[in-house]
């Protein structure tokens, strides 16, 4: 029986049922929240789940069984996930996707038992969240005058916000598939679009332009201005009306301190609060927002750049993506929760030559130096697709598929599996996803063994070195 992610326990009886029996579903509170038991016998197909979500997962497993046998096999599968947080991310800020395109991806992700869609909605190059309080965000911050990504120049204006109705539509489409939607309002860096409307929230208060190319920019929010918190809080309030879930992403990545260093108000605040570095100063800001969200019953997620300052509020979940894992390991070992998205395995906007399916499958979600308790603080893994260079639906799909199948396997199961066996085991889940009309990367690209080609390195250098 070939099922990906591999279930925890499969009892396969090698007997086949003549007629298709009826299906019976029930909630069994003795099971964990996402745990299910799927029993197929001649009398019935019985599904027990710890919750409605778990029943849904049993049905996804059943689809793979139905896809591979003409007659159903007698079997009993008991299954539950390794991690509670199993996510994919789409950057809708650098380039947007139509709502229908996002839905197509979500529909496929549900088959993989992924349970979280992290939606990156704000950036230097465009603001995508419709605001009732601040209508200029819907016009000025949403539209960049041109695009210059990767040296390709396009002189036409680009972008719009997603309306509240559209975002609600995504939330309810996801809810039908037991996927939570976690929005990201990236701050205090990556805020040029916001600052183009509110230059008074920056240290310099000068005009700030929405950006047209990839990169990391010095234009950041000034944590020393009351107005910064006033605007941010009001925007968060609006986000929370649309996105009802417990996690909320507040970015915290790639924030240069240059403007803070030149700002008298920032210097005064840093000294007054006894903060030892600009990294700690950034966390003065992050912690203020983390607290604001906590008051609303939400847990903030932040990128691991914010762990450079040792004072990050431990209530935040840290999302590891780059650099030496020490800060993340320390964070987990001392009780903080973490999500793993190491860029060289799980950033699916990289070419397959760098991050092959084989490489994604090989990732072990654990770091050297992580204690057993630290390991328990890994709540899950996430695979992002950033869209500086991904502009169309087909490319986005090719970059996700099939790699996300391997990431989803690791998120759900701790059963190690060779690449060759994985290719065989995934054939039915692959078929189900392809049947939904999803475009996969060409098979010839899946198996690269290492980062080697000049082409691959070019892309790598482009994104992660030249832009800094
Ligand atoms: C990131 O890739 N800047 C989180
Ligand atoms: Zn300042």
| Residue 79 CB–ligand 1 contact under 6 Å | no
Query: 324: pLDDT confidence band, cut at 50, 70 and 90?
Result: confident
Minimal-distance CA residue to ligand 1 atom 1: 253
Give the position, in ligand 1's atom list, of the atom nearest the Cα of 384. Answer: 2
Residue 12 has pLDDT above 60, yes or no: yes
Q: Which pLDDT value is given to residue 205?
A: 86
Express each pLDDT in 173-182 by its tens digit.
999 999 999 9
**For residue 381, how far is its CA from the centre of ligand 1 (angstroms)?**
15
Residues that place a CB less than 5 A from ion ligand 2 = 203, 222, 224, 263, 265-266
- The ligand 1 atom at the shortest distance from the C-alpha of residue 254 is 3
203 CA distance to ligand 2 middle (Å):
4
d(CA 101, CA 387): 14
**Among all ligands shown, which has an atom nearest to the Cα of 224?**
2
Using a 6 Å cutoff on CB, does residue 346 contact ligand 1? no
Give the mean pLDDT of 325-349. Answer: 96
DSSP-derived secondary structure for 84-108: SEEEEEEE-SSS---HHHHHHHHHH
Give the tokens for residue 452. 């080697």
Return the pLDDT at 155: 98
Residue 134 CA, ligand 1 centroid: distance in Å: 26
- Choice among 131-140, 224-233, 295-304, 366-375 with the minimum mean pLDDT: 366-375
pLDDT average, residue stretch 211-235 = 98
Residue nearest (by alpha carbon) to ligand 1 atom 3? 253
Q: Which two tokens stand for residue 439?
A: 């475009």
Q: What is the pLDDT at residue 132?
A: 98
The atom number, within ligand 1, closest to the CA of 319 reads 4
Q: Model confidence at 352, in pLDDT bands (50, 70, 90)?
A: very high
Q: pLDDT value at position 465?
A: 42
The candidate with the shortest Cα–Cα distance to 193, out of 206, 211, 207, is: 211
**Which atom of ligand 1 is least distant from the CA of 343?**
2
What is d(CA 343, CA 444) in angstroms, rounded to the nearest whole number?
23
Q: Which of 125, 185, 321 to mutate to test the pocket of ligand 1 (most atoms within 8 A of CB)?
A: 321
What average pLDDT does range 350-364 have in this prediction?
95
Q: Which residue would you say has higher pLDDT here, 324 or 279?
A: 279
Copy the structure tokens of residue 150. Answer: 């990767």
Q: Does 253 contact ligand 1 (Cβ within 6 A)? A: yes
For residues 451 and 457, the answer to whether their CB atoms sit within 8 Å is: yes
Q: What is the mean pLDDT of residues 33-59?
A: 98
On the CB side of 343, CA atoms within 13 Å amount to 13
Nearest to 281 by CA among 255, 316, 317, 318: 255
DSSP one-letter code for 142 = T
Which of 177, 251, 184 is CA-nearest to residue 221? Answer: 251
Question: How do residues 181-209 score in pLDDT, each as one tens digit?
Answer: 999 999 999 999 999 999 999 999 899 99
189 alpha carbon, closest ligand:
1
Residue linked to tokens 């040029």: 192
Q: Which atom of ligand 1 is nearest to the CA of 190?
A: 3
Average pLDDT over residues 98-115: 98
**Res 458 pLDDT > 60:** no
Ligand nearest to the CA of 254: 1
**Rounded to the nearest whole angstrom, what is the distance from the C-alpha of residue 146 to the centroid of ligand 2?**
29
Asked whether the whole model's pTM tops 0.75, one would answer yes
- Using the structure block, give the residue that is written with the tokens 């004072």: 311
Q: Tell me the average pLDDT across 386-395.
A: 97
Cα–ligand 1 centroid distance for 225 (angstroms):
26
In this prediction, residue 18 carries a pLDDT of: 92
Report whether pLDDT(466) > 60: no
Q: pLDDT band for 442, please (50, 70, 90 cuts).
A: very high
Closest-lying ligand to the alpha carbon of 252? Answer: 1
pLDDT band at 449 (very low <50, low <70, confident <90, very high): confident
Q: What is the mean pLDDT of residues 274-283?
A: 98
Q: For residue 241, report the distance from its CA to the centre of ligand 2, in Å.
A: 30
Q: Rounded mean pLDDT of the chain?
A: 95
Distances 208 to 93, 229, 248 between C-alpha atoms, Å? 18, 19, 27
The answer for 61, left when phi > 0, alpha when psi is -120 to 50, beta otherwise, is alpha
In the predicted model, is pLDDT for residue 243 greater than 50? yes
Q: Are strands 85-91 and 116-120 parallel, antiparallel or unpaired?
A: parallel
For residue 254 and ligand 1, the question of a CB distance below 6 A is answered with: yes
What's the rounded mean pLDDT across residues 96-104?
A: 98
The reported pLDDT for the residue numbered 460 is 52
């Amino acid at each position: 029986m070939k099922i990906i992610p591999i279930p925890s326990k499969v009892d396969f009886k090698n007997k086949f049922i003549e007629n298709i029996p009826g299906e019976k579903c029930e909630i069994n509170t003795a099971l964990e929240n996402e745990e299910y038991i799927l029993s197929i016998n001649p009398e019935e197909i019985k599904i027990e789940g710890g919750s409605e979500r778990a029943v849904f997962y049993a049905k996804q497993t059943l689809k793979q069984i139905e896809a591979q046998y003409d007659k159903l096999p007698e079997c009993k599968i008991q299954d539950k996930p390794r991690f509670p947080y199993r996510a994919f991310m789409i950057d809708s800020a650098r380039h947007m996707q139509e709502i229908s395109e996002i839905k197509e991806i979500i529909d496929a992700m549900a088959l993989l038992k992924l349970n979280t869609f992290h939606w990156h909605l704000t950036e230097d190059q465009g603001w995508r969240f419709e605001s009732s309080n601040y209508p200029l965000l819907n016009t000025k911050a949403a539209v960049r005058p041109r695009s210059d990504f990767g040296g390709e120049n396009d002189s036409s204006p680009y972008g719009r916000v997603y309306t509240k109705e559209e975002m609600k539509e995504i939330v309810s489409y996801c809810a039908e598939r037991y996927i939570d939607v976690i929005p990201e309002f990236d701050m205090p860096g990556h805020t040029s679009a916001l600052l183009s409307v509110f230059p008074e929230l920056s240290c310099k208060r000068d005009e700030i332009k929405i950006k047209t190319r990839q990169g990391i920019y010095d234009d950041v929010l000034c944590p020393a201005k009351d107005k910064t918190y006033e605007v941010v809080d009001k925007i968060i309030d609006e986000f929370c009306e649309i996105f009802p879930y417990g996690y909320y992403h507040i970015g915290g990545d790639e924030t240069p301190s240059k403007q803070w260093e030149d700002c008298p108000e920032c210097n005064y605040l840093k000294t007054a609060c006894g903060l030892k570095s600009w990294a700690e100063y950034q966390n003065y800001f992050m912690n203020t927002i983390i607290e604001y969200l906590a008051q609303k019953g939400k847990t903030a997620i932040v990128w691991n750049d914010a762990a450079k300052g040792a004072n990050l509020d431990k209530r935040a979940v840290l999302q590891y993506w780059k650099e030496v894992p020490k800060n993340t390991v320390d964070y987990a070992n001392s009780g903080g929760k973490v999500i793993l998205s190491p860029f060289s395995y799980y950033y699916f906007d990289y070419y397959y030559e760098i991050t092959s399916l084989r490489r994604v499958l090989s990732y072990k979600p654990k770091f050297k130096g992580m204690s057993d308790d630290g390991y328990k603080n890994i709540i899950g893994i996430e695979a992002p697709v950033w869209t500086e260079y991904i502009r169309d639906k087909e490319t986005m799909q090719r970059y996700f598929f099939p790699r996300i199948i391997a990431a989803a396997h690791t998120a759900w199961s701790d059963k190690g599996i060779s690449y060759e066996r994985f290719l065989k085991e995934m054939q039915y889940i692959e078929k189900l996803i392809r049947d939904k009309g999803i475009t996969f990367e060409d098979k010839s690209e899946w198996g690269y063994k290492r980062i080697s080609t000049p082409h691959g390195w070019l892309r790598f250098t482009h994104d992660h070195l030249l832009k800094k």
